[in-house]
Amino acid sequence: MRAVAEISDPIHGYFYLSSVDKDIVDSSLFQRLRRIRQLASAYLTYPSAQHTRFEHSLGAMHLAGNAGNVLKDKGYVSDDAIQILRLAALLHDIGHGPLSHLFEEVLEVKSNITHEDIGRMMIRKSMISDILAKHGYRADEVSDLAFGQSSKRFLNEVISGGLSVDLMDYLQRDAYFTGAHYGRIDAERIISSLEVYDGRLALDRAALNSFESLLIARYQMFKAVYFHKTVRAAEVMLLKAMMLADEHLHLSEAYKSVEDYMRLTDDMILASLLSLRDEGRKELVLAKRLAEDYRDRRLFKSVYESILQASSRLINRLTDARYLRDRCSEIAGIAGVDPDMVYIDSAKAPSIPRAPSKEEPRDLVLVGKEPFGIKRIEMKDIPLISSIMGYMNMIRVYTTEEHREKVARAALSVFGSEAESWYERIAV
């Protein structure tokens, strides 16, 4: 690969762009990622968390190139595969909408479409396809690898999953910009230890400790940053505002046109919500109020929280929208407040990242010198990992400052007997 430009990055130091990398990075489609924060609203809690999808994509590309070089030196891939790996990592977030995963929740509810669907469209049917073709690369091949559909499973696993460059970049980057210490990992050690066995990405046995640290770091980042009660409070507000205003602003239909989708950025969404006119419609009045409170950091208060065990009866209801709406109404009725002043936030994330196939990873292939040889080891048999296996499940009730005490008592009366928490049930 001939370098034509260089990047100075606080996480990975200096790294380089090839001519095709640079042409994609310089395109207006990719430059749009500069205006989409990696952690959406987290900057209201962690002031330095202003980093974007743009630099994360560059970092993932760099790590993918490093992984490709390791796999080539060990005889698993050719020189050509390295650049395709880099391109897939560079473009794996190209379809992300504004406000991180919040906008995607609106899309899924309103249009049943994901950022990956949009990413495929952008790679295959936009200027990105033309740039790839100019340099001799096929858009469909890059798109398939970017979204876990390559025929070579181990290459998919370089891009996403428990050993992926996506995970290794965002953990380090998010930890750096939030100031959290949990995301510090030894990515170089893991990448240099990558192997391939039976078509799967495997790991040298000597790097098992580094892999354990990677998954523990992710688990801790979810608890301390991604699921932080104030971070989630801001996200709940914006999500509610977008849902209320979608019919008026047509946000969930923007994906139908690349030009319309390109205009969607964090600041554009907030500005659109702030400029709403009520037109006699309660939902628009509330959406605008939520946006104003978000802008001025008058955030919801968490009045009830439970971290749920896998055996809890609530687990299967965390994604049941009707159940959550009913509980909102019940809590509001007990508290004697407007139902629009009560919000339930349920969050569920796998403790171990999903493979590109979306299946739960159950084992890890370890490769070592004789007499160890090659061994599949069940995740549950790795002591540190077994302690966090399953899902991180959390449910919180939010309300405004003036209703804090009443809603706290009501939430405890509704969820207190059902929620079985790892920790003491909390009403704060």
Ordered structural domains, the chain, with CATH: 5-224 (1.10.3210.10)
Q: How far apart are CA 395 and CA 291, in angstroms?
A: 23
Mean pLDDT per 10-residue segment, the chain (428 residues)? 90 96 97 95 95 98 98 94 97 92 85 88 94 97 95 94 94 96 90 94 93 91 90 93 92 86 92 89 93 96 79 63 88 93 85 71 81 78 75 86 93 71 38
Residues 6+ apart with CB under 8 A from 167: 160, 161, 214, 218, 353
Q: What is the pLDDT of residues 99-129, one digit of tens each?
A: 878 888 888 888 888 889 999 999 999 999 9
Residues 185-195 as b/e (b if ≥16 CB within 10 A, e otherwise) read: bbbebbbbbbb
Query: Radius of gyration (Cα) for the chain, nearest Å?
Result: 23
Residues 6+ apart with CB under 8 A from 231: 39, 41, 42, 44, 45, 46, 225
Q: What is the pLDDT at residue 422? A: 32
Q: What is the pLDDT at residue 107? A: 86
> What pTM did the predictor assign?
0.92
| Dihedral sign computed on CA atoms, order 25, 28, 29, 35 | positive
* 159 close to 143: Cβ distance less than 8 angstroms: no
Q: What is the pLDDT at residue 309? A: 56
Q: How far apart are CA 195 and CA 199, in angstroms?
A: 10
Give 240's Cβ-side CA count (13 Å radius): 29
The letter for the amino acid at 375 is K
Helix, strand, or coil (residue 304): strand
List beta partners, residue 421: 308
Q: What is the pLDDT at residue 314? A: 62
Q: What is the pLDDT of residues 261-320, one digit of tens each?
A: 888 999 999 999 999 987 778 999 999 999 999 999 999 999 998 876 554 556 666 667
Element (H, E) at 413: helix 404-415
Residue 100 falls in which region: left (phi positive, over 0), alpha (psi -120 to 50) or beta:
left
Q: Note the Cα 202 to chain centre separation in Å.
A: 24
Q: What is the pLDDT at residue 421? A: 38
Alpha helices in 127-193 (DSSP H): 127-134, 139-146, 153-159, 165-178, 187-192
List beta partners, residue 396: 305, 345
Task: Give the DSSP letter string of 84-112.
Answer: HHHHHHHTTTTT--STTTHHHHHHHHHH-
Q: What is the pLDDT at residue 310? A: 55
Q: How far apart are CA 137 and CA 94, in angstroms?
A: 17
Residues 325-334 as b/e (b if ≥16 CB within 10 A, e otherwise) read: eebbebbbeb
Residue whose C-alpha is closest to residue 362's, from 344, 386, 333: 386
* 138 close to 87: Cβ distance less than 8 angstroms: no
3-state helix, strand, coil in the chain (%, to 5): 55, 15, 30
Residue whose C-alpha is closest to residue 226's, from 101, 54, 390: 101
The letter for the amino acid at 406 is K
The letter for the amino acid at 130 is D
Backbone angles phi, psi at 47, to 5 degrees: -60, -25
